[in-house]
Structure 1
């Protein structure tokens, strides 16, 4: 779900180094969520973290590497949060509902992370990452939904529709929530969850013919 950042050539880091990197990543997330991707300079991030820009450069070669780590951290953590909830469901329809629900529950728990990620992606941040493929990044987000829709259609739980288009519709509805959160920190997540799941249910459920139509 995240751009590949290759750190295989780096030596193992100490506990203190890992803790410092985590501190910097957290500061980057909070700074991007507050002022936007382009205004989140290394100096601003250092101020937020309470450390010098030079110390950030010791841990990250530049802003691109730091942003890559932000995306990796958020998507890895989000997957660990969501996957067990989705896998606990036994039907594609149930998994779809769990997919939407766990996405929004993660946003509720970590609003700044999701605001920052959407800001990075929508502001062209992926293009600044030399090892990131924006097209692959986009497809990695859509593929789980596409596969779920294919399985649901095969089992008769979903109507016949283009799975790629529907996957993009669902992701667009979910990804609009962090933007709304950035404007209203008191956003009613439960309301969004209820309306998105209801809309997606109506959009994907099989068409039931009435007795007059059969």
Structure 2
């Protein structure tokens, strides 16, 4: 018998319910990263998780709700990783280097997560793939990077440039390297990360 929530509709999920939800999210990440978003059905997720389709619908009322929960978890973990690395760095230059390294390092260590992000935040040919607010807005996506660049300028460490434009350029370089790695797994990301760091610093530092 499937355990039910507490008396009220807003009652917190039980331990078993939280475990089942996490089990379903992990199964969804596995399937989306290997089969793609369109080929990931509720039935396939249920089979991968070893549960019934009815159990899936008990915890998540639709495929969109479940895949969105999986995407949100991936993005939260990614953001937490970057934030942790930034917290360890001191000064605008070190923080920017930490950002570039964290962006590459997390994706290198979590290839499945990269596939999920790629699958679920990019449109398919018909433009019908699941979207999240701001997911296609590159301006919003690189706001944190632009903020780091602005901090460096205000501290007199970086030369004068438009932070938004530079953030798009650096972010695009990171995306390009990761896209190549996804297509060519033999590509070595460690020296690539070092080159990205050098590329970034050469683009922004003062040359007095």
Q: Answer yes or no: same fold by TM over 0.5.
A: yes
Alpha-carbon distance in structure 2 between the residues aligned to 1:126 and 1:74: 21
Give 1:40 shift.
Answer: 1.9
Q: Runs of at least 4 residues of structure 1 off by over 3 A?
A: 124-129, 135-140, 176-182, 184-187
Question: Which residue of structure 2 lines up, in the alignment, with residue 153 of structure 1?
Answer: 153
The aligned counterpart of 1:91 is 91
Partner of 1:33: 33
Structure 1: where are the runs of 5+ without partners? 1-8, 209-214
Of residues 70-79 and 171-180 in structure 1, the stretch that sits farther from structure 2 once superposed is 171-180
Q: Is the 8 A contact 2:149 2:163 kept in 1?
A: yes
Q: Are the counterparts in 1 of residues 92 and 152 from structure 2 also a CA contact under 8 Å?
A: yes
1:111 touches 1:178 (CA, 8 Å); kept in 2?
Answer: no
Equivalences, count = 198
**Aligned residues of 2:29 and 2:116 also touching (Cα < 8 A):** yes
Which 10-residue stretch deviates more, 157-166 or 139-148? 139-148
Contact 1:32 1:119 in 2 (8 A): yes
Alignment RMSD: 2.4
Aligned to 1:172: 172
- TM-score (structure 1 length as normaliser): 0.81
Residue pair 2:138, 2:168 contacting (<8 A) in 1 also = no
Deviates most, 117-126 or 82-91:
117-126
Q: TM-score, normalised by structure 2?
A: 0.83
Give the secondary-structure state (helix, strand or coil) at the position aligned to 2:175. Answer: helix
- CA deviation profile, 1:35-80 (whole Å, cap 9, x unmatched): 2222222223233323333222111111211122112211221222
Distance in structure 2 (CA, Å) of the matches to 1:61 and 1:206: 54
Say if 1:111 and 1:181, in contact at 8 Å, map to a contact too: no
CA contact (8 A) 1:27 1:45 kept: yes
Provide the rounded CA distance (Å) in 2 between the counterparts of 1:155 and 1:83: 21
Distance 1:78 1:39, change over 3 A: same
1:108 aligns with 2:108: yes
